[in-house]
Amino acid sequence: MVKITLSQAILISIWVCIFSFVCSVGSDVFDHAPQDLCEFCAISNRTSRTRLLYENETTNIIAFRSKDPDCKKHYLITPHLHIKNYFSPEATCDLIHELQRVCNEMLDEEGIKYKRRILFHIPPFYSVTHLHLHCMACTNDDESFLSSQYYINKFMDFASPDIEDKCPHTV
């Protein structure tokens, strides 16, 4: 058996993380698609085949499975409206709170007990320029620091805004 030290393992994981991050999101970070090429608009207007897990015709909010899951459960929750990001004026606190509520409702309905990670992105660290909430439930395996996913998740946590700053739940 090849023995590696903990610091070597950490170093390797960091490189794997940087490599996979650059490959998965890096190319999109500085090259955001215009609205007519937006994949979430296409999902929302049903020109894409992605199956919807939630749809509300009053609030115009939809949810679907992430095609590139970072945790055991990974849903994306988004308004039909092409709002650019979390800091756009159209991203009102009512909308932000409703997206969070839908996420918790979906995870509650499935009886999911894993650790929840519910987050938006800080620009420019997103792959799709259409406001979306990452709604995740992560097992211990997803959280193991020996997996490269751990570092991707840490980076996502780091590159996400503190929702309570903009939209506190208790006013």
Ligand X SMILES: *[C@@H]1O[C@H](CO)[C@@H](O)[C@H](O)[C@H]1NC(C)=O
Q: How many residues bind ligand X (CB under 6 A)?
A: 11
- Which of 113, 114, 110, 108 lies closest to 139, judged by CA? 114
Please provide residue 77's backbone torsions phi and psi, each rounded to the nearest 5 degrees. Answer: -120, 125
CA–CA separation, 78 and 135 (whole Å)? 10
28 or 98, CB closer to ligand X? Answer: 98
Coil, strand or helix at 79: strand
Alpha helices in the chain (DSSP H): 6-21, 27-29, 39-44, 93-109, 140-143, 148-158, 163-166
What character string, x for contact with Zn ion (CB under 5 A) and - otherwise, covers 97-136? -----------------------------x---x------
Site for ligand X contains 45 (CB under 6 A): yes
What character string, x for contact with ligand X (CB under 6 A) and - otherwise, covers 62-101? ------------------------------------x---
Site for ligand X contains 53 (CB under 6 A): no
Coil, strand or helix at 94: helix
Site for ligand X contains 144 (CB under 6 A): no
Choose, by CB under 6 A, the member of 8, 24, 27, 35 that binds ligand X.
35
Residue 134 appears among annotated catalytic residues: yes
Name every residue whose Cβ is closer than 8 Å to that of residue 41 and which is 6 or more positions away in sequence: 35, 82, 130
Choose from Zn ion, ligand X, none: what does 18 bind? Cβ within 5-8 Å by kind.
Answer: none
CA–CA separation, 24 and 127 (whole Å)? 8
Quote the DSSP letter at residue 13. H
Task: Single out the catalytic residue among 80, 130, 134, 169.
Answer: 134
Task: List active site positions.
Answer: 134
**Contacts with ligand X, residue ranges (CB under 6 A):** 35-36, 38, 41-42, 45, 47, 56, 58-59, 98
